[in-house]
Amino acid sequence: MRPVYHPAGADDDLRVALVELQAGRWRAARDLLRGTQAHWTLRTSRTQVLAVAAARSDVVDVWLAEEPDSYDAQVMRARVLAERALRAHRQKHPGVADLEAGARHTALLAARRAQQDPVPWVCLLALAQIDSRQVLREHREWSSEPMLPSGPWGLLHEVNRRDPYNREAFHRVLQFLLAREAPRAASLAAVFDFGRWVASWAPVGSPLLLLPVYAQVEQCRQQLANGRVDPLWRRQWVEEPTLTYTLKAFAEWFLKADPHLRSVADMSHLAYALWVSHNFVEAAEVFAATEPYASREPWGSVAEGRSTLDFGEALLLRARTESLSFARTHGPRVGPHP
């Protein structure tokens, strides 16, 4: 069975709002966000997905023009402007500075209007990766953890005190650490240090327990991109401390988190880490819980010999088939734990 790639995953309400938004209709998105005003985790993830789609059109501007007092429209405008600035940065567009300044201004206005909402601060954290030289003071503060480099720690604190353990905020910090003007090895070391530090205190049920897995995937991505791949490079997944972090994420996040809040991206990363470390029974559980949905990452980045996206999908299908087959033959029946 071919995997289904959809940004909404199993979130049916978000899928409907996305279809409407892509057609230039904003009311479904408005109604969807009205139901998330006390659920910051859901609000953060949904506004992020909606913004990726809305950034291609003026649908949020139309919404704001028709409902100028709508805070949800204002925060979505901050989301959209941040997404456009990040795209321009990736494409090395000459107008990125103006786009970044506009997005920052809009996010600050939203933050002042609804001081309890973490989303504007998440926007500011997302924009930090554009400032790779850490020119802005808020991007070169020192962390309370001495092994970490200077960074946007004050912005992370602002998100964390509104929505503790906000998934996107911590992933934005990972992106910032990778984007800094520093030697690649130093940036990767900072990502590992940050991921393991967070995983050491992240609570049970938190997707932040997966940050070391994301760091390891980034190392694999860089190894493949640089063409310096040892024939036994996958052994790093069965060595310590990577294996311990992977199994901890399975036991303390996957098995104990609310299934409705588990993202497809996180489950895909965990499934890869379990499969490549030969924990096939556990990988099969994750694959079964994810179906029929999948994300293109990490598969597209860690597939050897990749020249098209097909290599990533082929690796995904191979891993899923091997894991499910092994679980049927050697392990317990795949299904929910009692």
Per-residue pLDDT tens for 119-166? 999 999 999 999 999 999 999 999 989 999 999 999 999 999 999 999
Q: What is the pLDDT of residues 185-213, one digit of tens each?
A: 888 999 999 999 999 999 999 999 999 99
Q: Phi and psi (nearest 5°) for 310?
A: -65, -30
Q: Which residue has the higher pLDDT, 203 or 227?
A: 203
For residue 230, name the pLDDT band (cuts at 50, 70, 90).
Answer: low
CA distances from 131 to 96, 136, 188 (A): 11, 7, 18
Extract the tokens encoding 298: 């990490």
Q: Could you report the per-residue pLDDT of 41-95, keeping only the tens digit for each?
A: 999 999 999 999 999 999 999 999 999 999 999 999 999 999 999 999 999 999 9
Mean pLDDT of 169-180: 96
- Picking from 162, 279, 231, the residue whose alpha carbon sits closest to that of residue 271 is 279
Residue 121's contacts (CB-CB under 8 Å, 6 or more residues apart) are 107, 111, 155, 158, 159, 162, 169
Q: Which two tokens stand for residue 338?
A: 């009692």
User: What's the predicted TM-score (pTM) here?
Assistant: 0.93
Local confidence band at 259 (pLDDT 50, 70, 90 cut-offs): very high
Give CA separation, 246 vs 94, 210, 272, in Å. Answer: 41, 7, 10
Calculate the average pLDDT of the chain.
92
What torsion, rounded to 10 degrees, do the Cα atoms 161, 210, 76, 258 define? -80
- Would you state the structure tokens that stand for residue 24, as one six-digit string? 């230039």
Sole residue written with tokens 């992933």: 171
Cβ proximity of 270 and 262 under 8 Å: no
Q: Any residues with CB less than 8 A from the CB of 130 and at least 6 apart, and which?
A: 85, 86, 89, 96, 100, 179
Once rounded to an integer, what is the mean pLDDT over residues 14-23? 95
Beta strands in the chain (DSSP E): none
